[in-house]
Amino acid sequence: MKKIVLTLTFLLAACTVASAQYSTENLRGLQGVRLVVMFGRADGLPEEQRPELLKTLTAEATTKLQNAGIRLLKWAGESEAAGFPQLEIRITLDKLNGFVHPLVTEVQLLQRVKLVRDFTIEEDAITWRLEGVGGPTLEIPMIHRQVAGILDRFISDYFSVNPRQTAGSTEKN
């Protein structure tokens, strides 16, 4: 019994995703997103490996979103017309020191919003967010799995309020 509890505890600690309390309603009517993948900090990964990892994660995220049917906004004009939605994937890779998780992944959607009290004031606000942590060691496959898992949740939340259109459908979102 102790072995089972220990194993379950380890698996839970190895890769955990935490959700902030953002409503999926914030995704309703979204016409696409601009994708940004970046490191928050990457001290836990040799410098020569960082560019390739970032390139691979960006390609995987792009493919995942496009295959799901979520439009990627690439030009300033189309991003502005859509309300400046930006899906940011921030990966923090720390050296093992016993005090921090070696992997922290944050995926957040920023959108341009106006204050109700003064419509002339516009700011970018986080309207959807999900975080994950990984450990006890830092492994590249774990990074890929964690980012993919959080993106799967974003895609699920997106389509929960923006139903997929079929070829014959004339329904508007």
In this structure, what token pair is assigned to residue 107? 């995926």
> Which runs of consecutive H residues, i.e. helices, occur in 90-168?
140-161
Q: Which segment, 15-19, 80-84, 107-111, is predicted with the most confidence on average?
A: 107-111
- 4 falls in which pLDDT band (50, 70, 90)? very low
- Peptide bond preceding 85: is omega within 30 degrees of 0, i.e. cis? no
How many angstroms separate the CA atoms of 140 and 43, rounded? 14
- 82/92: higher pLDDT: 92
Is residue 152 in some structural domain? Answer: yes
Total domains in the fold of the chain: 1
> Hey, CA dihedral for 50, 52, 55, 57, is it positive or negative?
negative
Is residue 4 in some structural domain? Answer: no
Is residue 116 in some structural domain? Answer: yes
For range 112-140, the mean pLDDT: 92
How many angstroms separate the CA atoms of 113 and 125, rounded? 7
Whole-number pLDDT of residue 2: 54
Residue for token digits 């974003």? 154
- 130 falls in which pLDDT band (50, 70, 90)? very high
Q: Which amino acid is at 60?
A: E
- 12 falls in which pLDDT band (50, 70, 90)? very low
Is residue 169 in some structural domain? Answer: no
8 Å CB contact between 42 and 143: no
Residue for token digits 């995220």? 61
Whole-number pLDDT of residue 166: 56
Q: Give 107's strand partners.
A: 89, 130
For range 41-46, the mean pLDDT: 94
Q: Is 59 exposed, middle or buried (0-12, 13-18, 19+ CB in 10 A)?
A: exposed
Whole-number pLDDT of residue 23: 82
Please say if the pLDDT value at position 134 is more than 60: yes
Whole-number pLDDT of residue 79: 76
How many angstroms separate the CA atoms of 130 and 116, rounded? 26
How many angstroms separate the CA atoms of 126 and 138, rounded? 28
Is residue 7 in some structural domain? Answer: no
- 62/12: higher pLDDT: 62
Whole-number pLDDT of residue 1: 56
Q: How are beta strands 86-93 and 34-41 bridged, if at all?
A: parallel
Q: Which domain holds residue 27?
A: 18-160
User: Is this structure's pTM higher than 0.75?
Assistant: yes
Please say if the pLDDT value at position 164 is more than 80: yes
Please say if the pLDDT value at position 41 is more than 90: yes
Is residue 3 in some structural domain? Answer: no
Q: Of 23, 65, 34, nearest to 157 (Cα)?
A: 23
